[in-house]
Each structure stands twice: as structure tokens, then as C-alpha cells.
């Protein structure tokens, strides 16, 4: 937004309207306010950034003063998510710094080329890649409609699902670490447990968290509500279906092309924190206690995540505030994953190999059906979830922020031949305007070597979704060769 002041009350400003130039008659003492390119993009084109120019007065000098209110150079510019609910994104996502470069380079071409270049022409696919998922059929329904001797559709057949070696966690060298939060909090045992926590994040990227302090009934209420929700008739669940261009609600994630192979699962995603970003339309009203149990679970898991981040900062040797300020308001999302049974379980995948984008994920197995596998030394390791423990894993953001000390590890989910499997993950992410890059303290300790480029969080997420099916490739694209 620009505020223009006519310093000596001589007019000369003209704006282009419907292809013609119109003079602006200034009112003494008033400011002329105009919308700039960034606001046009952010409002998804609802507000207009209009071309204007200044003409010279034959007799009088003219002086004006403009105050520009711009975007922070480190943020990412894109249409506001809220405004995309009913429609398409009309502009691409871009870093403010990049945008300004394009702006000055194209400055002399009127309505800056920078903004026209950002206008989306063929938006449907591009946008599915950044935020939404292409619609695909409901897998629970598909599974129920199949006779036992019927083949699953070709799009679900994954030859790679069972060609790689899988080891199960009975060999003690392959048991993922167990971290005790009560020991971390107890001064007597804290140091020793902190060393174990650090080593789990560095060597494994995964651990199971016990004695985490989340009341048992908070967990059991949520588990019961989730199981009951997925038992509802399809129509009742579909009341919460994802809208185009959004991941929130009931549907799928990561489907970005019509050719792509599909996962044998349905998903339900909700934004939980900060509280003001909750969209209650998507919060199931059935079972009746569901909303309350999600809310309580959200509060409790956010506490655990904050506590873990503080200990991780301590282990990394940085001021906890430096890490925590990226997570101001503790943004949090929740995903329920429903994997129907599949007679050809050994031919399908519940969830393709991926890393989690967020900083820290807390995962619960809702029923006692195993299926999670993590990549360890080039093999897949099947994980045995401990009753009552959270499976915690380091996401991409934490790998980057820790300058590569902590590892974001690939994992996938398998399907059971005759039992449904349900899991629920809470993702703790940085604020929308955070710049994702290695913490300067850690870079300093690493002899000044930043192992990753810094990018705005939204730009990072765009890369994440578009590279989703390539395992860790989006992370590799940010990694510096050192």
C-alpha cells in the first residue's frame, strides 16, 4: 500500500482506468492511497494494483512524497489461503526478494511485468501441487465393495512395495530408541537422557516417547472417537470432504497427477493451532465428543512438542528462545490415516515413502495393527509401537534448522490383509512467515558452513508437495555441496 502526499498542492498524478489516463485531483490535507502489486497478489486479485504516472506542470514545480508499505524481504508472497476456499489461485507463490528483483527489472514496462508473470494461466494442476490434492475415489468404500477374489485396481498396485528388504525390530541393534520425558524433566537424570535424545535425533530421526504426561483418557477418548468416526456411513463422512485447493477435511493428500499410483488409504486433515486458524466446518460433530477430544489432545500434544523442542535446543547448544520463536503460537495440524484391509496387502502401499515436512511429528497408532516402517541403513525397518507411547519423528524443517545434525527420515505405512489400520499424527510446524534455514549459531559452530539454503516457509511447502513422491529429493534440492 502506498500513501502519497502532495507536498505543495500541485497536481500531476494520473491513473490508468479502462485504457485511458485520468488526473487525480488532490484534496488538501488528504493522502492518496493506492494498492500495490503485493496486495493484489495477496487478495488473489480482488484488489487492483493500477498503473499510474506523474506529469509536469508548465509553470509550477511539484513535489510529492510517497510512503511505501512493503513486504518483508524474507517472506513469501502468495494469495491468502482463506481466499482460495471457493476458487483458484490467480498468482504464483514467490519470495518477496525474488519479486522485487523482477519488479525493478521490469519496471519500465508499465503494469509491471513482475506481476503479470505471476498470474496463473493454467492453474488447476499447479495449484493441486502446492495445496490441494486431485480428487480420487474413497478407498474404504472401494475396499468394502470388493469381493474377496477380486483384484484391486491397477492404480493401487505397487510392485516396489515388497521388493525391498524389510527387517523387523527384534534384533536389538534395530530397536528404535525409547526416550523417557519424565527422566528428561528430572534434574537427577536429565543430562543422561538428553544425550540419548540427541543421539536418537541424530542417528535415527525417530524415537518412542514414554512417560510424556498426556493423561491416558485424553488419548483413549481420541482413539475411540476416531475409530467411531471411520465407522460412520460414507455420506456422513463426506460432509467433511476437502474443498478444491485445500488439504483440510476428509479425502486424500499428495495426489498431484492423473497417472500417479495411489495409496491404499483415506485421510482426514485438520488445522488445530493457532486457535484462530481452526475452520470448524471440518471438525466432525459426530461422534458428539469428537471436537472436545481433538481440542484436548491438541493442547496436550502442543505442550509435549514445546517441551521436546526446548530439550532439543539445549542438546544442540542454542538458546531455546531462538528455536521457539520460529514456532510462535505453535502451529499444529492433525492427520488421521485410515488404511482399510486389503486382500492383496502385499501388492499395495498404505502410505508412500515420505519424510514429514513439519518440524516434529507425534504419531499414535489408534488400533493395535502395526504397519509403520522407517528407512534405516538402506533397508525398511518395521516398527513395533509401544502401548501408550508416542512415536516421535524429526521433520524436514528440523533437519534444516539443525543444519543437518538431526535427520528427517523416510518412512511408509503398510496395509494389513484383513484388519483396518488407523493412525493419527500431529505435525508441529513453524509460523507461515518463518524463514526456514540453519540457525546462525549452529552455522557458526560448523565453521560457518550452512548446509542448506534458506527459504520462506510457504515456498518450502510448495517444494515439499511438488516433490512429494520423490522421498527426500526436495530436501536434497536445498542442500549445499560442502
For ligand AKG, the binding residue among 84, 176, 351, 394 (CB under 6 A) is 351
Is 336 a residue that touches ligand AKG (CB under 6 A)?
Answer: no
For ligand AKG, the binding residue among 372, 400, 415, 435 (CB under 6 A) is 372
Nearest of 121, 126, 120, 103 to residue 49 by alpha carbon: 103
Q: Closer CB to ligand AKG, residue 76 or residue 352?
A: 352
For ligand AKG, the binding residue among 78, 245, 403, 423 (CB under 6 A) is 423
Q: Closer CB to Fe ion, residue 316 or residue 394?
A: 394
For ligand AKG, the binding residue among 261, 296, 376, 411 (CB under 6 A) is 411
Q: Provide the 3-class DSSP secondary structure of residue 63.
A: coil
Q: Closer CB to Fe ion, residue 180 or residue 356?
A: 356
Q: What CA–CA distance (Å, rounded) separates 223 from 338?
A: 12
Q: Show the cell assigned to 415.
A: 496395509
Q: Closer CB to Fe ion, residue 244 or residue 471?
A: 471
Is 226 a residue that touches ligand AKG (CB under 6 A)?
Answer: no
Is 402 a residue that touches ligand AKG (CB under 6 A)?
Answer: no
Q: What CA–CA distance (Å, rounded) separates 227 from 229?
A: 5
CA 347 to chain centroid: 29
Q: Closer CB to ligand AKG, residue 34 or residue 393?
A: 393
Nearest of 457, 398, 453 to residue 433 by alpha carbon: 457
Q: What CA–CA distance (Å, rounded) separates 468 from 482?
A: 25
Least Å distance, CB 166 to Fe ion, is 17
Is 399 a residue that touches Fe ion (CB under 5 A)?
Answer: no
Which residue number is nearest to Fe ion in terms of Cβ? Answer: 356
Q: What CA–CA distance (Å, rounded) separates 442 from 318?
A: 8
Contact in structure between 399 and 436 (CB atoms under 8 Å): no
Q: Closer CB to ligand AKG, residue 333 or residue 438?
A: 333
Q: What CA–CA distance (Å, rounded) separates 96 from 188?
A: 48
Partner interacting with residue 372 (select from ligand AKG, Fe ion, none; CB below 5-8 Å by kind): ligand AKG
For ligand AKG, the binding residue among 180, 263, 356, 396 (CB under 6 A) is 356
442 CB contacts (<8 Å, ≥6 apart)?
316, 317, 318, 402, 403, 405
Q: Closer CB to ligand AKG, residue 340 or residue 371?
A: 371
Q: Is 330 left (phi over 0), alpha (psi -120 to 50) or beta?
A: left
Q: Show the cell assigned to 200.
A: 536418537
Least Å distance, CB 393 to ligand AKG, is 8
Q: Show the cell assigned to 369.
A: 495393527
Is 398 a residue that touches ligand AKG (CB under 6 A)?
Answer: no
Partner interacting with residue 478 (select from Fe ion, ligand AKG, none; CB below 5-8 Å by kind): none
Least Å distance, CB 180 to Fe ion, is 23
Peptide bond into 287 cis (omega under 30): yes
Contact in structure between 50 and 33 (CB atoms under 8 Å): no
Q: What CA–CA distance (Å, rounded) separates 326 from 369?
A: 35
| Binding characters for Fe ion, 325-364, by CB under 5 A (x = yes) | -------------------------------x--------
Q: Which residues bind ligand AKG (CB under 6 A)?
A: 335, 337, 351, 356, 363, 371-372, 411, 413, 423, 425
Q: Which residues bind Fe ion (CB under 5 A)?
A: 356
Amino acid at each position: 500500500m502506498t500513501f502519497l502526499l502532495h507536498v505543495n498542492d500541485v497536481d500531476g498524478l494520473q491513473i490508468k482506468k479502462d485504457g485511458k489516463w485520468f488526473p487525480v485531483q488532490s484534496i488538501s490535507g488528504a493522502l492518496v492511497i493506492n494498492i500495490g502489486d503485493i496486495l493484489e497478489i495477496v487478495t488473489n486479485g480482488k484488489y487492483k494494483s493500477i498503473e499510474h504516472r506523474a506529469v509536469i506542470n508548465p509553470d509550477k514545480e511539484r513535489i510529492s512524497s510517497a510512503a511505501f508499505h512493503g513486504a518483508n524481504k524474507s517472506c513469501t508472497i502468495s494469495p491468502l489461503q482463506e481466499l482460495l476456499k471457493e476458487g483458484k489461485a490467480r498468482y504464483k507463490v514467490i519470495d518477496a526478494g525474488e519479486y522485487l528483483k523482477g519488479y525493478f527489472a521490469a519496471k519500465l514496462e508499465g503494469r509491471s511485468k513482475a506481476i503479470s508473470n505471476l498470474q496463473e494461466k493454467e492453474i488447476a494442476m499447479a495449484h493441486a501441487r502446492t495445496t490441494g490434492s486431485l480428487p480420487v475415489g474413497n478407498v474404504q468404500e472401494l475396499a468394502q465393495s470388493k469381493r474377496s477374489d477380486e483384484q484391486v485396481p491397477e492404480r493401487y498396485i505397487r510392485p516396489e512395495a515388497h521388493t525391498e528388504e524389510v527387517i523387523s525390530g527384534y534384533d536389538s541393534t534395530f530397536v528404535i530408541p525409547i526416550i523417557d520425558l519424565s527422566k528428561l524433566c528430572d534434574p537427577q537424570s536429565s543430562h543422561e537422557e538428553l544425550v540419548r535424545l540427541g543421539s536418537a535425533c541424530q542417528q535415527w530421526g525417530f524415537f518412542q516417547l514414554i512417560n510424556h504426561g498426556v493423561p491416558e483418557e485424553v488419548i483413549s477418548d481420541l482413539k475411540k472417537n476416531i475409530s467411531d468416526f471411520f465407522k460412520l456411513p460414507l455420506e456422513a463422512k463426506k460432509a467433511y470432504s476437502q474443498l478444491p485447493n485445500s488439504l483440510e477435511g476428509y479425502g486424500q493428500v499428495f495426489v498431484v497427477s492423473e497417472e500417479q499410483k495411489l495409496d491404499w488409504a483415506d485421510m482426514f486433515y485438520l488445522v488445530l493451532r493457532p486457535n484462530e486458524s481452526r475452520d470448524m466446518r471440518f471438525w466432525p460433530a459426530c461422534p458428539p465428543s469428537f471436537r472436545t477430544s481433538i481440542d484436548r489432545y491438541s493442547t496436550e500434544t502442543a505442550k509435549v512438542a514445546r517441551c521436546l523442542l526446548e530439550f532439543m535446543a539445549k542438546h544442540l547448544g542454542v538458546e531455546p528462545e531462538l528455536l521457539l520463536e520460529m514456532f510462535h503460537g505453535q502451529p499444529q495440524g492433525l492427520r488421521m490415516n485410515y488404511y482399510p484391509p486389503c486382500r492383496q496387502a502385499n501388492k499395495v502401499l498404505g502410505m508412500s515413502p515420505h519424510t514429514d515436512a513439519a518440524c516434529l511429528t507425534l504419531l499414535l497408532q489408534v488400533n493395535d495393527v502395526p504397519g509403520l516402517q522407517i528407512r534405516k541403513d538402506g533397508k525398511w525397518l518395521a516398527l513395533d509401537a509401544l502401548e501408550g507411547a508416542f512415536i516421535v519423528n524429526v521433520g524436514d524443517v528440523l533437519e534444516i534448522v539443525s543444519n543437518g545434525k538431526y535427520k528427517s527420515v523416510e518412512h511408509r505405512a503398510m496395509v494389513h490383509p484383513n484388519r483396518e489400520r488407523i493412525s493419527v499424527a500431529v505435525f508441529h510446524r513453524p509460523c507461515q512467515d518463518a524463514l526456514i534455514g540453519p540457525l546462525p549459531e549452529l552455522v557458526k559452530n560448523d565453521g560457518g558452513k550452512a548446509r542448506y539454503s534458506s527459504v520462506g516457509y510457504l515456498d518450502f511447502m510448495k517444494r515439499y508437495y511438488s516433490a512429494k513422491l520423490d522421498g527426500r529429493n526436495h530436501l536434497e534440492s536445498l542442500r549445499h555441496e560442502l
